[in-house]
Amino acid sequence: MPYPNSLRSRFIITLSIMLVLVMGILVFILHQLMIPNLISEERQSAHVYANALQKGIDQNARALGDMAYQWASWISTREFMEGRLPDFPQTHITPAVFSDHDADMMVITNINDGVVWVAGRNPSNGRFTSCATPEGPCQWTIEQVRQIQRQLPMADTIPRIGITPGFALLSTWPIARQDTPVQSGKLTLVRFLPGQWQLDAENSASTLTLSATRQSTDIVNGETRVDIDSTSDDSLRLTLARDSATPGYQVLMTTRLDRQGLRNGIERFNLTMLGAMGLLLGLMMLMLWIFRAIVLRPIAELSRYAVALRQSPGEHLESPPPWLQARGDELGIMAREFQTLIRELNDRNAHLKALTNRDALTGLGNRRLLDRQLPRILSLTHRLDRPVALIMIDVDHFKLYNDFYGHPEGDQCLKTIAETLSDIFQRESDLVARIGGEEFVIVLPDFDLDRAMDIARGVCTAMEAQCLPHEPSPTHKYVTISAGVAISSPEHPLAGEALIKRADEALYQVKKSSRNAVGCASPG
């Protein structure tokens, strides 16, 4: 699990923010651009549909109007009005007239708007009646006739819908000769309209629900006002308002339009949006995977390595993993630089380590090396059931030497002693160290007391044989050394400190009595 500040977490957080941003932008586009655009398109098509409906209404009105005009301007109608053709209704106003012309009622009035003849099909029983007054068999026409009579004084020739009782399309024309304005009456043709008026039998969306409301002043003379409201997400209400034949009222023709187009548009966009989001998510996962493989994993490995390096207890530091060093990119360069750095550090560590174990003047081991190695040599050699000899050497009258020849010459003398010791003790297992000013220690594994005494004497002889003049010495004319020897045997093993102490005591004893001599500590 990546910790919150890890590169991986940050990358995931950044990608998530981007995803949310993209989603926000898409939702913004949907609401601010797509939906208004779709609504505008929907409105445009609703207006186109409203125009088609208007044409349908106009066609119906024109057909009725044309027929009313023909009847009104027909010579026989005029002759009837003038009393010259009294049997005109019986001979001409027949049921066939109404069937053929898709009309329901005809009202002929005189110049005083009094009824002269009324005929038509009773909508309640379908029976045809034809009478001189709206009475008797034509009683069913009485309400319509009254309405028509009421509106006749201001009637023009534009066909309109009347609203009481029930809805009906009305067209009124003056009965007159075409070449003269003299009227002999008016002829009104009526078609009853159902409350649900289907303009086109094959198109259910062409069904108009008729209603009436108080007249709006802005609609006159057959003009149509179109209103479109969205009543719900599923449908639009399309209202066509016209002035009616009934004074003070207008007719509202309403239909509902399905909003399938809008729904489809939004659904299409939502699908596209979902697809885009899915694609984006997939891309982001792929990017994360690639980023993880190319960047995160090597960086995590480098950071793990750096932590391990800091916690590394040893003097030798491990190199970065080889696969990281093998990379050709910046991370590979970094790993290789690490590797170079580590190598240099290891070299320096080794050098420093060597320095800390060496005596700077003579190049021999120092007290530190002796303290570290002596216990190890003792334990290893005793494990092999062999003794360890320790010789402690001190330069005789070295203070006098220094005082006489000077400190640099004293240093040179110490170096000569070191070289002499190095020449004598060449075994890998021998340890030669300078542990103080003019004090040297030699540790000899697998040496018993006799051999150690012999070789210590040999050292004294070899040193004297160097013939380094020592004028102020009260005992010898050359530089000499004295030695103390001690043994640690498997039978009587000694700790390093104790062994050194014993050799030192033996040396002290020698120094007390003589110089250029070897003394030994009694074993055990």
| 128 or 478: CB nearest ligand GTP | 478
Judged by DSSP in three states, 182 sits in coil
DSSP state of 294: I
| 349 or 357: CB nearest ligand GTP | 357
- Interface ranges with ligand GTP (CB under 6 A): 361, 394-400, 402, 407, 410-411, 414, 437-438, 511
> Is the CB of residue 203 less than 8 Å from the CB of residue 258?
no
> Is the CB of residue 487 less than 8 Å from the CB of residue 523?
yes
| 336 or 415: CB nearest ligand GTP | 415
Q: What is the smallest separation between the CB atom of 447 and ligand GTP, expressed in angstroms?
A: 25
Q: What is the smallest separation between the CB atom of 414 and ligand GTP, expressed in angstroms?
A: 6
370-373: long-range contacts, CB 8 A cutoff, minimum separation 24: 370/431, 370/433, 370/435, 370/441, 370/443, 370/496, 370/500, 371/496, 373/431, 373/443
Residue-wise DSSP of 367-411: HHHHHHHHHHHHHHHHHTT--EEEEEEEETTHHHHHHHH-HHHHH
Judged by DSSP in three states, 437 sits in coil
Q: What is the smallest separation between the CB atom of 307 and ligand GTP, expressed in angstroms?
A: 45
| 11 or 440: CB nearest ligand GTP | 440
> Is the CB of residue 385 less than 8 Å from the CB of residue 490?
yes
Q: What is the smallest separation between the CB atom of 411 and ligand GTP, expressed in angstroms?
A: 5
Look up residue 27 and give its two tokens: 């939702």
What is the Cα 455 distance to its own chain's centre? 83
Residue-wise DSSP of 144-165: HHHHHHHHGGG--SS-EEE-TT
Task: Report the greatest alpha carbon distance in the chain.
Answer: 188
Question: Whole-angstrom Cα distance, residue 71 to residue 223?
Answer: 25
| 199 or 460: CB nearest ligand GTP | 460
| 324 or 370: CB nearest ligand GTP | 370
Which residues pair with residue 484 across a beta bridge? Answer: 392, 519
| 99 or 475: CB nearest ligand GTP | 475
Q: What is the smallest separation between the CB atom of 313 and ligand GTP, expressed in angstroms?
A: 35
Q: Report the interhelical angle of 260-291 vs 35-73 (nearest 10°).
A: 170
Which of 82, 143, 428, 438 is catalytic? The answer is 438
Q: What is the smallest separation between the CB atom of 308 and ligand GTP, expressed in angstroms?
A: 43
Active site residue 41: no
Count of alpha carbons within 13 angstroms of residue 323, beta-carbon side: 6
Residue with tokens 């320095």: 355
Closest among 158, 132, 186 to 57, alpha carbons compared: 158
> Is the CB of residue 104 less than 8 Å from the CB of residue 170?
no
Q: What is the smallest separation between the CB atom of 389 and ligand GTP, expressed in angstroms?
A: 22
Question: Whole-angstrom Cα distance, residue 117 to residue 64?
Answer: 19
Q: What is the smallest separation between the CB atom of 511 and ligand GTP, expressed in angstroms?
A: 5
End-to-end, the C-alpha distance of the chain in Å comes to 65
| 239 or 420: CB nearest ligand GTP | 420
DSSP state of 469: B
Which positions are annotated as active-site residues? Answer: 438
